[in-house]
Amino acid sequence: MHSVYSGRGSSTATRSGGDAGTPAKVAPQWQEAAVVEVIDEAPDAVTLRLQLAEDSGFLAGQYYNVRLGVPGRPPPVQRAYSVGSSPLPDPSVIDLGVRAVPGGLVSPRLVRDLSAGQHLCVRGPYGRFTWSDDDPGAVLLVGAGSGLVPLMSMLRYAVVSGRTEPVWLVCSATTFDHAFYRDELARLAASEPWLGVTHCVTRDSTEPRATYHRRIDREVLAEVLGGALPARAYLCGPPAMVDAVAAALGEFGVDLGAVFTEKYD
């Protein structure tokens, strides 16, 4: 599982970022970004905190392309990685979530070989899988694996924006130690009364920190929502999970026009 997405632009609407600023309308150009910090997220995943040389703003949920030279494979290889940080307060610093794909050309090097002070060639932002806190109503966020990264950008933006309406976050990982942002999510769930966080793990039936020890399914969603319906839902992860969750929400009575999806390979 990784952050190279096949479903970019599959959302049914593009949303403004409000005070976060709208990205420039001119086509993004390649630029050098300084690696400020490499943060361990899981045994096979990191957050790359980058300082952009040029800041055009971004919307919560968008992504950047990363270009990296690979020996024996000219030209450089390009991959897309979602931003996990909030557009506020400083969109010139972005956090890219990267999970190493076994046999991958780019992600293993980004996860294992980078350190603070190095530079990457990036271009962005891109993507229509975006959220603004301007719209009223409860929100459901569902992510599996690195599909949690753009949802975390939305959640962090909600915190900075002073969110008060309910948000349910349901996330899935193979084990709890492979779950992105697990410690921060625990702190947020304890401090933000509007936020509920539910963890599912698929390969550890004894994990006490997870609520469910299976994949996200209809029954999990029904129990999390408790009969309530979100005004909007954002789903990100493997196609089978995204499609199954969208179908379940439709059966519950959620307006599918308010269900936004992002799928990755």
Residue ranges and CATH numbers for the domains of the chain are 18-126 (2.40.30.10), 139-263 (3.40.50.80)
d(CA 147, CA 155): 13
205-261, pLDDT tens digit by residue?
A: 999 999 999 999 999 999 999 999 999 999 999 999 999 999 999 999 999 999 999
Position 12 scores a pLDDT of 33
Contact criterion met (CB below 8 Å) for 186 and 52: no
Helices (runs of H) and strands (runs of E) counted in the chain: 5, 11
Mean of the per-residue pLDDT values of the chain = 90
pTM for this model (two decimals): 0.90
d(CA 233, CA 244): 13
d(CA 30, CA 67): 9
Q: Percent helix, strand and coil across the chain, each rounded to 5?
A: 25, 30, 45
Position 14 scores a pLDDT of 29
d(CA 139, CA 137): 7
28-61, pLDDT tens digit by residue?
A: 999 999 999 999 999 999 999 999 999 889 999 9
Which percentage of the chain shows pLDDT scores above 90? 85
Report the residue count for the chain: 265
111-166, pLDDT tens digit by residue?
A: 999 999 999 999 999 999 999 877 789 999 999 999 999 999 999 999 999 999 99
